[in-house]
Amino acid sequence: MMKKVSLFLNGEKPSLAVDLAPSHSVYCVDGAYKHLQELKIIPDLLIGDFDSIESLPENVKYIHTPNQNFTDFEKALKIIIKHEFTHVDVFAANGLEQDHFLGNMSTALKYKNKLEIKFYDDRQSYYFIQKKTKLTHVKGKIISLFPFPKAKKVNSSGLKYPLRNLDLNMQKNKIGTRNKALKDTVAIEFKKGTILLFVQR
């Protein structure tokens, strides 16, 4: 059974409307609380060492996580797993400092077999995909497949530039960026490796 939570990190605040399903829980790391205040969203749980927040809100539950051996994102994922969620929608994971963005992708890769983690910003959604993945309602959207760092025998259907048993390799500059969906449904398969998929919003 799917159990989903929306998680806000302390990256660039979304400027577009954030569509949160009423049934989803909302968690945030401490520095992201200001984003939710501006968006008029009250989180169900606040997580962090609270070095980026002046005072804790009285109406929000919180968990203090002072361990500096892990990022706020990873500490939040550990709690999310403990709370038995299966899916995480992550907002404000990019922008401001790109080393943080790459660190967040590395953390997502570490936990991709324990949780389905999808990231959202104003322009794209992005996530690590399974070896057989189907996208729906994507006609006309820009689709990018980024090997992380390699993917073997990649095939696709429904894209302007179809992939046929293609090996992608970031180190050799063989990547599948800036493709376009010609159909409403796009299928992607690969035999081995890891792909970070970007879909235009």
* Contact indicator for 169, 131 with CB cutoff of 8 Å: no
Is the same domain home to 173 and 112? no
Question: What is the C-alpha to C-alpha distance for residues 199 and 183, in angstroms, rounded to an integer?
Answer: 14
Look over the chain and give the mean of its residue pLDDT values, rounded to a whole number.
91
* Contact indicator for 179, 159 with CB cutoff of 8 Å: yes
Is the same domain home to 84 and 168? no
The one-letter code for the residue type at 170 is M
Residues spanned by the domain of 150: 128-200
Domain boundary among 90, 122, 154: 122
Domain boundary among 122, 148, 180: 122
Is the same domain home to 54 and 104? yes
Is the same domain home to 19 and 105? yes
4-48 pLDDT, tens digit per residue, is 999 999 888 777 667 776 667 999 998 898 888 888 889 999 998
Is the same domain home to 28 and 117? yes
- CATH classification at residue 147: 2.60.120.320
Share of the chain above pLDDT 70, in %: 96
Is the same domain home to 138 and 116? no
Measured CA distances, 18 to 13, 45, 160 (Å): 10, 18, 30
64-86 pLDDT, tens digit per residue, is 998 778 889 999 999 999 999 99
- Collapsing DSSP to helix, strand or coil, 191 comes out as coil
Domain boundary among 122, 153, 188: 122
93-127 pLDDT, tens digit per residue, is 986 677 878 889 999 999 999 999 999 988 899 99
Q: Count up the domains in the chain and report the number.
A: 2
Q: In 3D, which of 126, 129, 91 has the Cα closest to residue 10?
A: 91
Is the same domain home to 11 and 82? yes
Convert 177-186 to b/e letters by CB count within 10 Å (16 or more is b). eebbbeeeeb
| Bond preceding residue 149 cis, omega within 30 of 0 | yes
147-200 pLDDT, tens digit per residue, is 999 999 999 999 999 999 999 999 998 999 999 999 999 999 999 999 999 999
- CATH classification at residue 102: 3.40.50.10240
